[in-house]
Structure 1
Amino acid sequence: MHKLILTTAALAFTAQMGMAQDVTRLGTEGAYPPWNFINDSGEIAGFERELGDELCARAELTCEWVTNDWDSIIPNLVSGNYDVIIAGMSITDERDEVIDFSQNYSQPDPSAYLATTADVDVEGAVIAAQASNIQAAFVAEQGWTLLEFATPEETIAAVRNGEADAVLADKSYLMPIAEEDAGLVMLERDEMLGGGVGLGLRESDTELKEKFNAAIQSMKDDGSLNELITKWDIGETF
Structure 2
Amino acid sequence: MPSKHCQSNKARKRKGRDIDEIYNDIQNKKTKVLDAEDRLDLPADGQFFCKTCERYFINQKALEKHERSKPHKNQLKRLAEPMYTVEDSLIAAGLGKMITVFRRLSVLNPTAYISRSLSTSATHSGAASDSDEPIQLDQNPYEKPKRKCLLCEHKIELDYKNTRLLQQFISTFSGRVYERHVTGLCTHQYKQLLETIALSRRAGYMPIFVKDPKYLNDPKLFDPLKPRTPHSYA
TM-score (norm. length: structure 2)? 0.22
Q: Which has the higher helix share?
A: 2
Q: Which has the higher strand share?
A: 1
When Rg is computed on C-alpha atoms for both structures, the one with the higher figure is: 2
Bigger relative CO (Cα 8 Å, ≥ 6 apart):
1
TM-score (norm. length: structure 1)? 0.22
